[in-house]
Amino acid sequence: MPKVIGLTGGIGSGKTTIANYLASLGIPVYIADDAGKKVMQTQEILEAIKQEFGTAVFDENQLNRAKLAEIVFDNPDRLKALNAIVHPAVRNDYKNWLSQHQKAPIVVYESAILFESGRYTDFDYILTITVPLETRIERILKRETISRDQVLNRINSQWTDEQRVLKSDFVVDNIDIDLAKLKIDEILKILSINQ
């Protein structure tokens, strides 16, 4: 039975970079956001979304994720309805994935909303990636064509770094990726000693 690390951090913190580094070390990494996109392509989930949100979020039977995002982003009740459809499917997908990695000493579950979704209690350890707010904003503006206000709205819809850190076993500051990787290596050493 592997030790399971929940990896999280706010948007723009560089958690995906850290997840990729962990994967490069041979550690199985489950990316919840990718899994969510995958399960949203299944017929069962598409039907449930159509039932809940109507055909307005579809273009010729294809889910228009941008239209769906517009509806749920500023509406907590609609977001809750979407999560009630998608999260159980991701949970099942993760259970299947985990059953295939039972021989690994450590596996990682990466999610931006680990705390917000209540999933953080499912893991042996929580690793939070932090970065100063302005750095996060700059990173997001470089990779996406959205306004600063939209970035701040996204950041404000998630837990703060301070809230995450209080409930985390390990915290890695990710301003300098080389230093962050060294810190990850240290954490992995600690975890392997505790096996």
Strand partners, 58: 63
* Annotated binding-site residue? 13: yes
* Annotated binding-site residue? 16: yes
* Annotated binding-site residue? 50: no
* Annotated binding-site residue? 15: yes
User: 192-195 — which CB contacts under 8 Å span 24+ positions?
Assistant: 192/105, 192/106, 195/3, 195/105
| Contact assessment for residue 11 and residue 19, using Cβ atoms and an 8 Å cutoff | no
| Contact assessment for residue 97 and residue 53, using Cβ atoms and an 8 Å cutoff | no
**Whole-number Å distance between alpha carbons of 138 and 156:** 16
| Contact assessment for residue 113 and residue 13, using Cβ atoms and an 8 Å cutoff | no
Indicate the burial class of 164 (C-beta count within 10 angstroms; 0-12, 13-18, 19 or more).
buried
* Annotated binding-site residue? 14: yes
* Annotated binding-site residue? 36: no
| Contact assessment for residue 30 and residue 39, using Cβ atoms and an 8 Å cutoff | no
Residue numbering of the annotated binding site for ATP: 12-17
Residue numbering of the annotated binding site: 12-17
